[in-house]
Amino acid sequence: MSKIIETVPNFSEGRRVEVIREIVEAVGKTPGARILDISSDADHNRSVLTLAGNEEQVRASVLKLFEAAIARIDLRNHRGEHPRLGAVDVVPFVPVKEATMADCVRLARSVGEEIAGRFGVPVYLYEEAATAEHRRNLADIRRGEFEGLARKMKDPLWAPDFGPEEPHSSAGATVVGAREFLIAFNVNLGTPDVEIAERIARAVRHSSGGFRYCKAMGVVLSERRIAQVSINMVNFKKTPLHRVVEMIKTEAARFGVNVVGSEIVGLVPNDALLSAAEFYLRLEGFDPSQVLENRLAEPGT
């Protein structure tokens, strides 16, 4: 079976529908990775593509995306709520099937070098592909945004991993890396009080003392008049969904609040849900090869 890698490139256009369409079409028309999902946000002025394929397919699709995006996006005229450094802002590679994290690190470095060489865009490597600890975290690399980039790059700590020592005039810089699958997961509370959601978020998120692979913030769903803990699970194998849900239930109970529901935004790996079932059903000695569909997918016996 061939390796499958996912890539989730974010590009800095979420408003001009025609431009988004042209970029997505350019990616889709080229032989390469399959487009699994497209999501654009006008407030953020940003779009996110989810692509999957083997190494050469995702490489080809990402290069095509750069070609189309750099020709159409000028950061000098770009405004949006989401922080960004470049026309194509960030390109993570994610191991999905048969592929390892080492495969994705190697691919990130090779594609990063190719982007820098072909398009003259400085490239930073992040997360598992980072070349120094201080540039592992995307938020740290992106701090200062496009507008502060020329100055930031004068600091030797922030010399790019590949490409020119100054920003591309219209396309800025790009952050390329390798990471685990990210699950966007929201937990809805039986209260409109966002302060409770924020306090629960602080209890479960890594940055304020919570679970290592959990990011979280409190938000309000104004239409439903309820508060929500909005979560990114950045490594569901090491910090599983069920542990965060159970902790949120416990913290919410302290305020007399119930968890009324949850939602997965976008895609979720099957294993993340099987692991929740295994925990809650208290399964002993469960082996994924007991799943009928897995057994059917095995080479013939």
- Residues contributing to the site for a copy of itself (CB under 8 A): 4, 6, 34-37, 52, 96-97, 181, 188, 241-242, 245, 259-264, 266-270, 273-274, 276-278, 280-286, 290-296, 300-301
> Which CB, 83 or 190, lies closer to a copy of itself?
190
Q: Which is nearer to a copy of itself, 87 or 245 (CB)?
A: 245
CB closer to a copy of itself out of 153 and 196: 196
Least separation in angstroms between residue 281's CB and a copy of itself is: 6
Name residues whose C-beta falls within 8 Å of residue 273's C-beta, 6 or more positions apart in sequence. Answer: 241
Half-sphere exposure of 151 (CA within 13 A, CB side): 6
Q: Which residues pair with 88 in a beta bridge?
A: 11
CB of 193 to a copy of itself, least distance (A): 19
Tell the smallest beta-carbon distance from residue 188 to a copy of itself (Å). Answer: 7
Cα–Cα distance, 198 to 252 (Å, whole number): 11
What's the token pair of residue 220? Answer: 């309000």
- Would you say 133 or 293 has its CB closer to a copy of itself? 293
**Minimum distance of a copy of itself from residue 121's CB (angstroms):** 28
The CA distance from 139 to 43, in Å, is 19
Q: How far is the CB of 56 from a copy of itself (least distance, A)?
A: 17
Contacts of 242 (CB under 8 A, 6+ apart): 275, 276, 279, 280
Q: Which of 44, 82, 206, 242 is labelled catalytic?
A: 82
Whole-angstrom Cα distance, residue 147 to residue 185? 31
CA–CA separation, 244 vs 226, rounded Å? 19
Amino acid (1-letter code) at residue 82: H
The minimum distance between CB 11 and a copy of itself, in angstroms, equals 19
In contact, 176 and 107? CB cutoff 8 Å: no
Return d(Cα 142, Cα 83) in angstroms, integer.
7
Cβ within 8 Å of residue 16, ≥6 positions away: none
158 torsion bin: left (phi>0), alpha (psi -120 to 50), beta (else): alpha
Q: Look up 82 and say whether it is catalytic.
A: yes
Q: Which is nearer to a copy of itself, 30 or 71 (CB)?
A: 30
Q: Which is nearer to a copy of itself, 26 or 35 (CB)?
A: 35
60/40 Cα distance (integer angstroms): 22
Residues involved in catalysis: 82
